[in-house]
Amino acid sequence: MNLPERIQTDTKTAMRSGDALTRDVLRMASNALYNAEKNQRRALTEDEALAVVVREVKTRRESVVAYRGAGREDLAAKEEAEIAVLQRYLPDALTEEELEALVGEAIVATGAASARDMGKVMGWLAPRTRGRADGHHVSELVAQSLARADLGAHDTGKRPPGAGA
């Protein structure tokens, strides 16, 4: 059963059980999937459907920050409850250790030597972390690792390929 079908089935289950929060969140997710399909003018692939759910979670996380900044803890708590419902449909999140290992693997695989190579590393990592890690956090880890690698090259006197005199 693909993601949109699971969401539809779970919406019906929530309706029957009287779980208003889950029902409403899944209806919003279902509508977002429907709108994405209409924009694409075709059925979504599993990865595209997952990206829609990830985008819904991201939107709610941004809302939590905004509500907390405005002192609206009640609305922030509601958004967090919605995030919890949507996270059931996302793959398991990567642990910090798994993420650091992937970043190291990406740096080796792309041959990155300095911060200028961040785009290559992120391009390699993006499909492997999509839906499983926050992109901003991944970006920070890559930047830190590349900065360490760049500083290490300067300390040993080695220059990355293509570096000037």
The domain locations on the chain are: 3-87, 96-156
DSSP 8-state secondary structure symbol assigned to residue 157: T
pLDDT tens column, 24-42? 999 999 999 999 999 999 9
Q: What is the pLDDT of residue 114?
A: 83
Residues 111, 118 contacting (CB under 8 angstroms) = no
CA dihedral over 5, 9, 15, 17, signed as positive or negative: negative
Tally Cβ neighbours within 10 Å of residue 90.
16
Residues 17, 25 contacting (CB under 8 angstroms) = no
**What is d(CA 58, CA 86) in angstroms, rounded to the nearest whole number?**
10
* CATH code of the domain occupying 3-87: 1.10.1510.10
Average pLDDT over residues 131-147: 88
Let me know if 16 is exposed, middle or buried by CB neighbors in 10 A (0-12, 13-18, 19+). exposed
Kindly indicate the confidence band of residue 113, based on its pLDDT and cuts at 50, 70 and 90: confident
CA dihedral over 46, 12, 17, 79, signed as positive or negative: positive
Say whether pLDDT at 17 is over 90. yes
Q: What angle do CA 89, 95, 97 make, to 5 degrees?
A: 155
Q: What is the pLDDT of residue 157?
A: 56
Residues 61, 83 contacting (CB under 8 angstroms) = yes
| CATH level 3 topology of 96-156 | Arc Repressor Mutant, subunit A (1.10.10)
Say whether pLDDT at 159 is over 80. no
**What is d(CA 98, CA 85) in angstroms, rounded to the nearest whole number?**
24
Report, in angstroms and rounded to the nearest whole number, the Rg of the chain calculated over CA atoms: 20
Say whether pLDDT at 136 is over 60. yes
Q: Give the tokens for residue 49.
A: 């459907």
pLDDT tens column, 59-73? 999 999 999 999 999
